[in-house]
Amino acid sequence: MPYEQLREQFAEYYGDGGEIRLFFAPGRVNLIGDHTDYSGGHVFPCAISEGITMAVRVRDDNVFRFACTQEGKKRDEAISMDQIPEFRSGTGWLNYPIGVVDTLLKAGYQLPHGLDMLFAGDLPIGAGLSSSSALGVLMTLAAREIYGLSGIDTVGLAQIAKDTDNLYGGGARGIMDPLACAVGKENCGIFLSVDKMRYEYVPMNLKGARLVVTLSGVDYAKKEKFEPLFGMCGKALKRLQSVTNIQNLCNLSWDKFESCKDVIMDEAATKLARHVIYEDMRTIRSVNSLRVGNIRRFGQMMNESHISLRDNCHVTCEEIDFLVEQAWKIPGVLGSRMTGAGFGGSTVSIVEGEAVDEFREKIGAAYRDKFGIDAEFLVTNASDGAREII
């Protein structure tokens, strides 16, 4: 939605007067490095151009009003500051902005007045593109700027969004998603070492190729599908620590893992540990390939990543595998893999510019014939992170 149109819609909804400010937070895609973050490894996401925008105005009381323009979402909620600690809305989108307010209050920040807010966006919900993290980062940024909350830097935006998601979003989440939404940079990926909490920007010179996100129409899985993965990684780590001096799985080299993997004594945990350790290595090598402009090698490692996610991690699904395998058949596709935590959501592909139309046409038709689902496509690019729209 154009920014001025959102301002006008806000005024229609809440009335004229006062200063209406606009804030934006993008979604993200993870290009490589899945299920390495909670094992102390590396990830390589980027923010994307699609995201969520909020129009906001200060109130003269302690009431917070939340509304959303998206069809099918609850349009309005009014809640006073003293009611916020008791608020729960199932798994609804309101949990995230209201949860941020609660998180800030519990952290001791002073919020002297309420706000009127209207949310709009072009970021698909349930597609594994971090709409929840975008909402959390967006709300935290707006609160920081409006209330003058000192001590919250850009990484702090991500940390508060992460804490809110863990408390109110119904799942244990890592720092990667909100960090990408907060610190994204145009035409750059974010190479994050989770163990050290250090990140650097790596230019993404795709030489005319585009990032194409394919939405499967299958909502990504809920936390109950991921909890066994955490447990298996913990089991593998504990067994490996009996014969090695490591703090996290990703501290172990692939050759050392192969020499001592039998100590795990669990086939599923061994395969998952293999994915985590090799995926961390792939992520480091793929970023090095990007640094020297070897886009084709980067794409090949995206493909290898998907195969491991499918065969070792078992977090893909039939629809996602089909989309990736169809992409691999199309000339001009340099790499394709699932993106996000898995069990649905989306794929991300690097597609040469002249092949984008063929990519959408062929994959859309094949997917419709196979599953009766119309896939959606986002031709996007690495984008800047959360910001105020001036």
Question: What pLDDT digit, counting tens, does each position of 185-212 carry?
Answer: 999 999 999 999 999 999 999 999 999 9
Question: What local confidence, expressed as pLDDT, does residue 49 receive?
Answer: 96
Nearest to 303 by CA among 318, 286, 315: 286
b/e 25-40 (16+ beta carbons within 10 angstroms → b): bbbbbbbbbbbbbbbb
Q: pTM of the prediction?
A: 0.94
What residues have CB less than 8 Å from 323, skipping those under 6 apart?
Answer: 214, 216, 336, 347, 363, 367, 375
Can you give the pLDDT at residue 170?
62
Residue 177 a catalytic site member:
yes
Q: How far apart are CA 299 and CA 304, in angstroms?
A: 9
Give the tokens for residue 42.
């590396």
Q: Which two tokens stand for residue 384?
A: 């800047």
pLDDT tens, 108-134? 999 999 999 999 999 988 888 999 999
> pLDDT class for 91, splitting at 50, 70, 90?
low
First to last CA, the chain: 16
Work out the percent of the chain whose per-residue pLDDT is above 70. 95
What is the CATH T-level fold of the domain 3-203+384-389, as seen in this structure? Ribosomal Protein S5; domain 2 (3.30.230)
- Which pLDDT tens digit goes with each residue over 326-353? 999 999 999 999 998 888 999 999 999 9
Is residue 191 within 8 Å of 179, Cβ to Cβ? no
pLDDT of res. 74: 54
Closest CA to 359 of 335, 341, 324, 333: 333
Q: What is the pLDDT of residue 72?
A: 53
How many other C-beta atoms lie within 10 A of the C-beta of residue 353? 13
Q: How confident is the model at residue 172 (pLDDT cuts 50, 70, 90)?
A: low
Q: Which two tokens stand for residue 196?
A: 């050290």
pLDDT exceeds cutoff 80 at 226: no
Instruction: With cut-offs at 50, 70 and 90, classify the pLDDT of residue 152.
Output: very high
Ordered by start, the domain boundaries in the chain are 3-203+384-389
Distance from the Cα of residue 101 to its chain's centroid:
21
> pLDDT at position 233, please?
94
**E runs forming strands in 219-353:** 333-339, 346-352
pLDDT-wise least confident of 11-15, 19-23, 301-305, 307-311: 11-15
Which candidate in 177, 219, 255, 357 is catalytic? 177
> Please, are residues 343 and 225 in contact by the beta-carbon 8 Å criterion?
yes
Which tens digit of pLDDT belongs to each residue from 211-224?
Answer: 999 999 998 655 56
**Cβ within 8 Å of residue 326, ≥6 positions away:** 362, 363, 366, 367
Please determine, for residue 280, whether its predicted confidence score (pLDDT) is greater than 70. Answer: yes
Tell me the residue length of the chain: 390
